[in-house]
Copies of this chain bind each other. A is one copy, B any other.
Amino acid sequence: MTSTKFDISSRVGGLELRSPVIIASGVWPYERELWSPLRLEGVGAVCTKAVSLNLRAGNRGTRVWETPCGMLNSIGLQNGGVHEFLREGMPVARSSGLPFLVNLVMEAEKDVRETIAALKDAPFEIPALELNISCPNVDGDGMDWGVSPKSAARAVAIVRREWKGPLWVKLTPQAPDLPAVARAAEAEGADALVCANTWLGMAMDIKKKRPAFRRVVAGLSGPAVFPLALRAVWQVCGAVSIPVVGCGGVAGWEDAAAMILAGASAVESGSALFADFNLPRKIASGLAAYGAEQGAASIKDLVGLGRDGRA
* CB closest residue in chain B, given A262: B204
Chain B proximity of A60: nearest CB distance (Å): 16
Give the contacting residue for A227; candidates B70, B261, B306; CB below 8 A: B70
Do the beta carbons of B224 and A68 come within 8 Å of each other?
yes
Known: A68-B251, A69-B223, A251-B68. A261 touches B201 (CB 8 A): no
Q: Nearest-CB distance from A231 to chain B (Å)?
A: 4
The answer on a CB contact under 8 Å between A200 and B231 is: yes
CB neighbours (8 Å) of A209 from chain B are: 261, 294, 305-306, 308
| Copy count, this protein chain | 2
In the bound complex, residues from chain B placing their C-beta under 8 Å from that of A177 are 176
Complex contacts, A220 vs chain B, CB 8 Å: 227-228
Chain A 227-284 interface residues, beta-carbon cutoff 8 Å to B? 227-228, 230-231, 234, 249, 251, 254, 257-259, 261-262
Bound Cα distance from A147 to B231, whole angstroms: 18
Residues of B within 8 A of A305 (CB): 209
A228-B220, A310-B216 known; A206 vs B254 contact (CB < 8 Å): yes
> A249 touching B68 by the CB < 8 A rule?
yes
Nearest-Cβ distance from residue A171 to partner chain B, whole angstroms: 15
Whether A224 pairs with B306 at a CB distance below 8 angstroms is no
The closest CB in chain B to the CB of A199 belongs to B228
Contact of A210 with B308 in the complex, beta carbons under 8 Å: yes
Which of A216, A230, A231 has the most CB atoms of chain B within a 10 A radius of its CB?
A231
Q: Which of A152-177 contact B (CB under 8 A)?
A: 176-177
Q: Which residues from B are CB-within-8-Å of A70?
A: 68-69, 224, 227
Q: Enumerate chain A interface residues (CB-CB to B < 8 A).
A: 67-70, 72, 176-177, 199-204, 206, 209-211, 216-218, 220, 222-228, 230-231, 234, 249, 251, 254, 257-259, 261-262, 290, 294, 305-306, 308, 310
